[in-house]
Structure 1
Amino acid sequence: MHTLQARETPAGTRYWRAGHGPSVVLIHGVGLDATIWSAQFATLAERYDVIAYDMLGHGASPRPPSGCTLEDYAAQTCELMDALQIDTAAIVGFSMGGLVARLMALDHPQRCWALVILASVFERSPSQVEGVGERLAQVRAEGPAANVDSAIERWFSPAYRATHPQAIARIRDMVASNDPDGYTVSYALFGSEHNVGRDRLSQIDVPVLVATGDDDPGSTPAMARRLSQRLANAECRILPAMRHMFVMEHPRVATELIADFLTIHHSAHSRGEMQS
């Protein structure tokens, strides 16, 4: 991915694209950018048309508009797909990206043939809501770098932090270099929209994979189980001894998880199209 030239849509969304086959769109988490998917991007591009992009307010994409809602983030995904002439894709969302993926399936169901929701949030407890609110207040007062060190402690295991200092430094710089206004808007939505579409989740009829690490304190196994139970066609995977950023810390596991799920369900999707 790092060897490919990034491009922009007419609306200014920065994205990378590689491969051929069924389309797969990768959506990163809050404070990050598309490059967290580097390992998955390279492998999936061997079988799929893979697109990874920077969400609004992240990387080199535009700031969120005034009065932005999570629907604007889903609209950005649609604009990207329209610009690339993609009718339907598997939407893979990590953390906040999982919220956008859910909204895509709810509000734009014709654009999704499958969903993968990784390390995302659902039905936070009152104490969890309070914790996110405290971190948001710090960000508003001090900027994106305010609580990046505590985030890294939650996201990565002590062993990974000790043995991969360059990767940790890259994530720290990535978060700290966010546009303050864009990051604050995004973090506020990440904090408030954990139940987006909750009462409509049973309407999602595409296959969904919900997965998280069993050592993720923010996107917990209980959240993943509750979310999958609300969905009509979902499977839930809890990954042993993994924290939030398992897409980077355990890239092979994450890639195989995504690839295996997409292989099974695209075959079924293709058979359904042939029969219709």
Structure 2
Amino acid sequence: MGVAKSEDGTSIYYERHGSGPAVLFIHGSGGHHAAWWQQVAALRDRYTVVTVDLRGFGNSDSSMPEFDGQDFPGDVLAVLDQEDLTDVLLVGQSIGSVAALRAGLSRPDRVSGVALGHSMGGIDHPELSELVAADRAEAVKLPVIDRLLSKGFQTGEPARTFLFQQMGTFNVAKMADLRNLSTGGPSIEEVVASPVVVTFLAGENDAVLRVSTVRRAHELVEGSRLEIVPNAPHSMYWEMPEQYNAAIVRIREDLTQRKAQA
């Protein structure tokens, strides 16, 4: 475990486990570093696994009067610099994907790939924005827990469902604080021009972002990769960790092969 300092002096908590090629996980709006317990345990014998708390979440500084999602990429970069990591795969979950993409595009010297988990990563494109807005309009009709976890999981795994809901109680920042998260996001042209390999990672049954929207983003972002996990919900990392972890391994190994062939 450690603490990195962002450019504005904010203390950012992170943990580093294992050794090997690096994978850094960035949580969503209801998570923090401990949300990745099923990933750390499964992947640390193979990779350097880093988890981070964005400002306002978990153990990071939460003393500021308001939270700006525009600062999140800098929080990630502070950890990369502190640990002097290169050839990193950044894995974002939902809002964490926005921070992951911006951080990766700004520092390709440290980041080889970005996995956009259940998110467009804040890409600024009119067609994608329209599709995402339509998906969100449908999602808000559901109770929050039903947007994130399947009904079957909630019924069959009440303890893990309860723990999932408790995760957010450790955070000060809330989704309502982060409405400008995607403001000024990168264009498709900027993403395509970057040497960073972008992968769209999504669940087939995501109630927040339809798989058709993710497929369209993949079509528009030339050179991107696509990982669709059958039957998986929005919070696939929690509900279906084996399938999720296998997808992360495929993405990480692809980056390693590309580097070897370069």
State the TM-score, normalized to the length of structure 1: 0.80
In structure 2, which of residues 113, 129, 137 is the aligned counterpart of residue 123 of structure 1? 129
Structure 2 residue matching 1:93: 3-state secondary structure: strand
CA contact under 8 A between 1:202 and 1:230: conserved in structure 2?
A: no
Q: Which residue of 2 aligns with 1:143?
A: none
Counterparts of 2:89 and 2:24, CA distance in 1: 6
CA contact under 8 A between 1:89 and 1:112: conserved in structure 2?
A: yes
Find out whether 1:21 has 2:20 as its counterpart.
yes
Question: What runs of 5+ residues in structure 2 fail to find an aligned partner?
Answer: 121-127
How far residue 113 of structure 1 moved from its aligned partner, in angstroms, is 0.9
How far residue 196 of structure 1 moved from its aligned partner, in angstroms, is 2.0
In structure 1, which of residues 239, 247, 260 is the aligned counterpart of residue 250 of structure 2? 260
CA contact under 8 A between 1:24 and 1:89: conserved in structure 2?
A: yes
Pairs aligned (count): 249
Q: Which residue of 1 aligns with 2:124?
A: none
Q: Which residue of 1 aligns with 2:75?
A: 76
In structure 2, which of residues 170, 186, 196 is the aligned counterpart of residue 197 of structure 1? 186
Residues 171-217 of structure 1 show CA distances to partners (whole Å, capped at 9, x for unaligned) of: 222224421xx225654245xx1882134222233322212112112
Structure 1 residue matching 2:129: 3-state secondary structure: coil
Q: Which residue of 1 aligns with 2:123?
A: none
Find out whether 1:178 has 2:171 as its counterpart.
yes
How far residue 100 of structure 1 moved from its aligned partner, in angstroms, is 1.2
Structure 1 residue matching 2:104: 3-state secondary structure: helix
Q: 1:48-197 to 2 correspondence within 5 Å?
A: 48-63=47-62, 69-121=68-120, 123-125=129-131, 126-128=133-135, 150-179=143-172, 182-184=173-175, 186-190=177-181, 193=182, 196-197=185-186
Q: Which residue of 2 aligns with 1:139?
A: none
CA contact under 8 A between 1:106 and 1:203: conserved in structure 2?
A: no
State the TM-score, normalized to the length of structure 2: 0.84
Counterparts of 1:174 and 1:57, CA distance in 2: 13
How far residue 229 of structure 1 moved from its aligned partner, in angstroms, is 2.4
Query: Residue 41 of structure 2 aligns to which amino acid in structure 1?
Result: A
Structure 1 residue matching 2:51: 3-state secondary structure: strand
Query: Residue 257 of structure 1 aligns to which amino acid in structure 2?
Result: A
Cα RMSD, aligned residues only: 2.6
Counterparts of 2:205 and 2:136, CA distance in 1: 19
